[in-house]
Amino acid sequence: MSSHRLAVSLAIALISTFAFSAGSALAQTTVTSERPASFTLDNGLQVVVIPDHRTPVVTQMIWYKVGSADETPGKSGLAHFLEHLMFKGTAKHPAGEFSQTVLRIGGNENAFTSLDYTGYFQRVPREQLAKMMEFEADRMTGLILKDENVLPERDVVLEEFNMRVANNPDARLTEQIMAALYLNHPYGRPVIGWRQEIEKLDREDALAFYKRFYAPNNAILVIAGDVDTKEVRAMVEKAYGGIPAQPAIPARRIRPQEPVPAAPRTVTLSDPRVEQTSLRRYYLVPSSTTAAAGEGPALDVLAQLMGGGSNSYLYRALVIDRQLATSAGAGYQGTALDPSQFSISVSPKPGVEFSQIEQAIDGVIAEVIQNPARAEDLERVKTQLIAEAIYAQDNQATLARWYGGALTTGLSIDDIRSWPDRIRAVTAEQVRDAAQKWLDKKRSVTGYLIKDTTAKREEKRS
């Protein structure tokens, strides 16, 4: 495995974690003094330019509106597999040339795959932007794949599966919870895929997926940095303007949807490597894209009230007051094209039963539903959410990621920019209503991670 691909693999793990555990504050919010420019080429490529003149650096990030939830059934892991293969070179630029060029000019690059999108980015000195565009535009249509580099890369993905999932009990629990939460929707498939299906992916699968989804009318190009919009437009037209659209790509992605949840589900995963037992509960809730007006921000505020830090209701109840747990938190993943998740996670103290933890969680939820949040609590968590978003704007790549993640999952630039105002407008009644409507046990899967001690007992007997 090359050092580049190892870096990409590790970053996928980090970005996947970010994408599915961070609250919407980080996933969708930004307030820049200058509104990003946006335009669309004749071939359908949407371009967003985010000015940031603090340093002479620019980030090019191209987002394809295709993720693991868009894969053909039976071909799980294909979106992520293709992301690996996009570094294998084209007729114009053989394998390694793009990455070596980025390194030589002092830049950095990476790639990531999620449920709803796949992205590639480079952060380079501003005078190198046109060259980066030429490389990225070339691999939108010019990818060349041969069995001699496809099959070894499949082995790399399988090794990544071993590292990130098979040898990670916590990740395996998340995988099983998601599979139980989504009975019908493809969000129940892991981004990296199921092992027995990854093993069968081949060159033809990858090329067919590439030709089907990688096209300008299925992409968003985000340029963040020390750039002038007019200059960027001319560069984009030159690099990407000649690429033909793919007319077979539908304007909207239609996926199988979940039936109305009828019963709570539980998952228990036991593993000899578990050192800390944990309980995790996921609720099926609307994403920012599918929520009714005001519901997304209310879920953001609810998650922060219940599980955002040491002043949160769950932490106070389980860790401080009753001393049942060493940690407790909650999160809402708003950035998704289809219904998403509200999660609660708790690490019990040794000897504490899961039933005690669940009783305490249910008590906190009941309290939120029965008694509207106090004004000072509401003000505190709103301030936290908005401040977190404002402080995080110091990272140029994060700015590009906010916009790309939101736009590829159905939100608009106005939605992104107005997020703090919508957080400020959330009322205690809206928070209570969100808890009552969406934190219904019937909408949940509760996962238990426990230590498997049977192996040790068997060893002793033998």
Q: Which one of the listed residues 83, 136, 295, 358 is annotated catalytic?
A: 83
- Side by side, the strands of the sheet bearing 108-113 are 37-40, 46-51, 219-225, 57-64, 118-125, 108-113
Q: Please name the residue that has the structure tokens 């952060």.
A: 123
Model confidence pLDDT, tens digit, residues 290-301: 999 999 999 999
What residue segments make up the domains of the chain, in order of their start? 37-241, 265-451
Q: Give the pLDDT confidence score for residue 389 in this predicted structure.
A: 80
How much is the average pLDDT of 24-53? 79
Query: What does residue 271 show for φ and ψ, rounded to 5 degrees?
Result: -150, 135
Which tokens go with 213?
A: 């989804």
pLDDT higher at 424 or 28: 424
CA distances, 161 to each of 20, 74, 77 (Å): 17, 17, 10
pLDDT at residue number 453: 86
Topology of 37-241 in CATH? Cytochrome Bc1 Complex; Chain A, domain 1 (3.30.830)
On the question of a common fold for 37-241 and 265-451, the answer reads: yes
Q: How confident is the model at residue 14 (pLDDT cuts 50, 70, 90)?
A: very low
Q: Decide if 427 contacts 379 (C-beta within 8 A).
A: no
pTM for this predicted structure: 0.91
Residue 26 has pLDDT above 60, yes or no: no
User: Do 292 and 356 contact (CB within 8 A), yes or no?
Assistant: no
Residue 264 reports pLDDT greater than 60:
yes
Please tell me which residue, 109 or 22, carries the higher pLDDT value. 109
Q: Supply the pLDDT for residue 393.
A: 78
Which superfamily does 265-451 belong to? Answer: Metalloenzyme, LuxS/M16 peptidase-like (3.30.830.10)
The pLDDT value recorded for residue 1 is 37
pLDDT at 31: 55
Confidence at residue 10, expressed as pLDDT on a 0 to 100 scale: 30
The answer to whether residue 250 scores a pLDDT higher than 70 is: yes
pLDDT at 7 over 50: no
pLDDT for 457: 52
Is 204 assigned a catalytic role? Answer: no
17 Cβ contact list (under 8 Å, min separation 6): none
Q: Is the predicted pLDDT of residue 3 greater than 70, yes or no?
A: no
Query: Does residue 142 register a pLDDT over 80?
Result: yes
Average pLDDT, the chain: 91
Is the model's pLDDT at 19 over the cut of 70? Answer: no
Q: Using one digit for the tens of pLDDT, what is the confidence trace for 303-349?
A: 999 999 999 999 999 999 999 999 999 999 999 999 999 999 999 99
The answer on pLDDT for 431 being more than 60 is: yes
Q: pLDDT band at 391, cuts 50/70/90?
A: confident
Residue bearing tokens 């599966």: 161
Give mean pLDDT, residues 259-271: 97
Q: Which of 82, 141, 142, 89 is nearest to 112 (CA)?
A: 82
